Chain A
Amino acid sequence: MTQVQAPVAIGVEIQPKRGSRRLGSVPLHIVLTIIMAIWAIPALGLLIASFRTAAATNRSGWWTAIAPPYEFTFQNYDYVLNRAGFWDSFLNSFLITIPATVLVVLIAAFAAYAFSWMNFPGRNVLFVVVVGLLVVPLQVTLIPVLSFFRDIEIAGNKLNGTILAVWLAHTGYGLPFAVYLLRNYIGGLPREVFESASIDGAGPATAFFRLAVPMSVPALASLVIFQFLWVWNDLLVALVYLGPIPQNHPLSVTLANLTTNFGGNWQFVTAAAFVSMIIPIIVFFSLQRYFVRGITGGAVKG
């Protein structure tokens, strides 16, 4: 990890935000403020609605709640957090999301490295096929994959309905985008780096773990964020492959049941939305520091 962090720290030091002086900074701040307002207003509306009763939201706009009389209530959050099985499903979400993210990122990085820096016949054709698989709609795969899971047994247990099945499915579905993104980034790294490593006697495994991975940190970080988000918020895959047993259900399924079981209790969805957003936001914030200039900057000197 020190290998990764050292250049980041240097990058921060040598890169004060000098650009702001060049572009007239007043229009810059105005444009960014407008953008922030447009993006924040719907989310703010959702946040305020989550603290109001359904009757109040149906009667008047969320913006009226900012002024007195204040009618805020915690009953939506109270209901969501105290549902039976809420904390179990919270843990299940981690058990599903973390392995599904690690699997996709590592397997895609191996493949992307092979596509970028190894020569083999049919390389471009195979790559186009992989990216072409991005277009396959998820709904198309449900029935064939479900029957595949039903046929497989591991140690006497059917794969269907287990958390393992959900990892495997998410890994398959996430790979085309992951390979595409990483092939693009790893393929764009400077050739000299890998040539000099090879001359110094480093094998592909060393070049991959010591050079390609540390230099691709911004791309890997964005991939981790998106795969994490996608699996965390996924409803369809979990519903289909886990089946109706609530014991294995992740947060998304448990929260979606809030509305379907009681018919349009959408005010609970607003509270549920903020509860389930917390973890993805933490992941985003903790990975944001890797989006810093200067990671590849010094790699090709001399």
Chain B
Amino acid sequence: MDFIAGLLANRIVAAILVVIAVPAVLVGYIALIEAIVSRLGRRWSGAIRPWLWMAPALAFLGVFLVYPTIATIIRSFQNRRGDAFIGLDNFVWFFTRNDTLIALRNNAIWVVLLPLLVVGIGLLIAVLVDRVRYESVVKSIVFLPLAISFVAAGVIWRLMYDVDPKVGTLNATVKAAGGQPVTWLSSAPLNNVMLILVGVWMFTGFAMVILSAGLKGISTELLEAARVDGANEWRVFRSIILPLLAPTIAVVATTIVIYALKTFDIVFVMTNGNFDTDVIGFRMYKELFNNTQPGRAAAVAVVLLIAIIPVMFVNIRRFRQQEAVR
């Protein structure tokens, strides 16, 4: 017991150190580089300063994301054992098989439906709760699913979608309304939509929190001025809130589109990719860990990377426009 108590005490000391030391080191870093940069000439300081401010971020990104990504791109052109280059064979495999193409189709459904519903409902909630006194109650309830682990979410949604109307909430409702029980999770393509609805339940809170934070940044004077000038609520929303919130909406939509492309957890816990619900994120996992085909898994990841290019293109254009008006 003494040993355990000592260990706990040590950990608490470590925890206190960590809470103070980590921010202190980071703030100290900025103080140090500013002290150095400000001694340099004007020309040099302007050229070096941004890189020093970004250096910690770039170092982390380089080690944990850029280097593994480059390794993956190279790997996608190699064979199973990784000792010979085999050209485009892995990609030919991906685009000529029925099950991978179904996974690709399912991702297309995810990429369209999930952002549309999450951003749409999230925006609706963010705008509506701004007008009521019980704002924090609504927000907390919608936020709740984000705090639930995927494993637990899988348990509850399997209960929601259960075929047996005695156990399954949804079929109990259908039966009470006089309908026949539906096999929500095993009839394609309906089951894809049902999985996406689990995603909507989990991620609308994310969109709501960020959009609400953006909404609070719009000045009250501006909204009041428009209302005094006789604009109705719809006009205020269309002509003031929506344009000012557009950059935030784009951030949320981009994040959700990327999540939809990478989607893995919900499929993993709900259907395990059965009944034509496979998606490419899960396909990659299976090739990597179940089939031990790292070359093919890498090719699937590269397909994901390519799929994001149009989204990035839209984002560049938006940032150029933002620069122009600022």
Q: Considering the chains assembled together, what is the distance between the CA atoms of A14 and B221 in angstroms?
A: 11
Q: Are B160 and A42 in contact (CB under 8 A)?
A: yes
Report if B177 contacts A (CB, 8 A): no
Report if B96 contacts A (CB, 8 A): no
Q: Contact mask A277-298 → B, CB, 8 Å, 1/0? A: 1001100110010011111110
Q: Given A128-B312, A297-B219, A43–B213 Cβ distance below 8 Å?
A: no
Report if A266 contacts B (CB, 8 A): yes
Contact of A91 among B11, B150, B254 (CB under 8 A): B11
- Scoring A58, A123, A131, A168 by chain B CB atoms within 10 A of each residue's CB, the highest score goes to A131
Q: Contact mask A65-107 → B, CB, 8 Å, 1/0? A: 0000000000000000000000010011011001100110011
Q: Considering the chains assembled together, what is the distance between the CA atoms of A187 and B321 in angstroms?
A: 12
Contacts of B160 in A (CB 8 A): 42, 45
Contacts of A31 in B (CB 8 A): 124, 128
Q: Given A23-B131, A140-B301, A168–B322 Cβ distance below 8 Å?
A: no
A104 to chain B, nearest CB (A): 9
Q: Given A19-B131, A252-B149, A222–B209 Cβ distance below 8 Å?
A: yes
Report if B66 contacts A (CB, 8 A): yes
Contact of A17 among B19, B132, B142 (CB under 8 A): B132
- Scoring B169, B221, B319 by chain A CB atoms within 10 A of each residue's CB, the highest score goes to B319
Q: Contact mask B55-68 → A, CB, 8 Å, 1/0? A: 01110110111111
Q: Given A36-B141, A297-B221, A111–B54 Cβ distance below 8 Å?
A: yes
Report if A154 contacts B (CB, 8 A): no
Q: Are A173 and B26 in contact (CB under 8 A)?
A: no
> Closest residue of chain B to A301, judged by CB?
B221
Q: Considering the chains assembled together, what is the distance between the CA atoms of A133 and B12 in angstroms?
A: 35
Number of interface residues of A (CB under 8 A): 121
Contacts of A137 in B (CB 8 A): 262, 264, 281, 284, 301, 304
Question: Chain B interface secondary structure, helix, strand, loop or mixed?
Answer: helix
> Closest residue of chain A to B248, judged by CB?
A184
Q: Considering the chains assembled together, what is the distance between the CA atoms of A166 and B15 in angstroms?
A: 15
A6 to chain B, nearest CB (A): 16
> Closest residue of chain B to A106, judged by CB?
B26
Report if A197 contacts B (CB, 8 A): no
Q: Are A102 and B149 in contact (CB under 8 A)?
A: no
> Closest residue of chain A to B139, judged by CB?
A288
Report if B188 contacts A (CB, 8 A): no
> Of B43-51, B102-110, B112-120, B178-186, which binds chain A?
B43-51
Q: Are A135 and B305 in contact (CB under 8 A)?
A: yes
Question: Chain A interface secondary structure, helix, strand, loop or mixed?
Answer: helix
Contacts of B151 in A (CB 8 A): 235, 256, 259, 269, 273
Q: Considering the chains assembled together, what is the distance between the CA atoms of A58 and B164 in angstroms?
A: 10
Q: Considering the chains assembled together, what is the distance between the CA atoms of A94 and B18 in angstroms?
A: 10
Report if B97 contacts A (CB, 8 A): no
A156 to chain B, nearest CB (A): 19
Contacts of A114 in B (CB 8 A): 49-50, 53-54
Report if A238 contacts B (CB, 8 A): no
Contact of A32 among B132, B215, B320 (CB under 8 A): B132
- Scoring A91, A92, A179 by chain B CB atoms within 10 A of each residue's CB, the highest score goes to A91
Report if A51 contacts B (CB, 8 A): no
Q: Are A187 and B128 in contact (CB under 8 A)?
A: no
| Chain A contacts with B in 105-121, Cβ cutoff 8 A | 106-108, 110-111, 113-115, 118-120
Q: Are B139 and A107 in contact (CB under 8 A)?
A: no
Contacts of B219 in A (CB 8 A): 296-297
Report if A231 contacts B (CB, 8 A): no
Q: Are B326 and A191 in contact (CB under 8 A)?
A: yes
Q: Are B217 and A42 in contact (CB under 8 A)?
A: no
| Chain A contacts with B in 32-63, Cβ cutoff 8 A | 32, 35-36, 38-43, 45-46, 49, 57-63
Report if B194 contacts A (CB, 8 A): no
Report if A20 contacts B (CB, 8 A): yes
Q: Are A296 and B30 in contact (CB under 8 A)?
A: no
Q: Contact mask B24-52 → A, CB, 8 Å, 1/0? A: 00110011001000100000001101110
Q: Are B64 and A173 in contact (CB under 8 A)?
A: yes
Report if A169 contacts B (CB, 8 A): yes
A165 to chain B, nearest CB (A): 11
Report if B148 contacts A (CB, 8 A): yes
Q: Given A219-B213, A295-B217, A108–B57 Cβ distance below 8 Å?
A: yes
Q: Contact mask B260-298 → A, CB, 8 Å, 1/0? A: 011010000000000000000100110010000010011
Please list 8 pairs of residues, one from A and one from B, whose beta carbons are closer than 8 Å in the complex, sorted by A's number: A46-B155, A111-B53, A139-B285, A140-B68, A145-B68, A171-B64, A172-B63, A294-B220
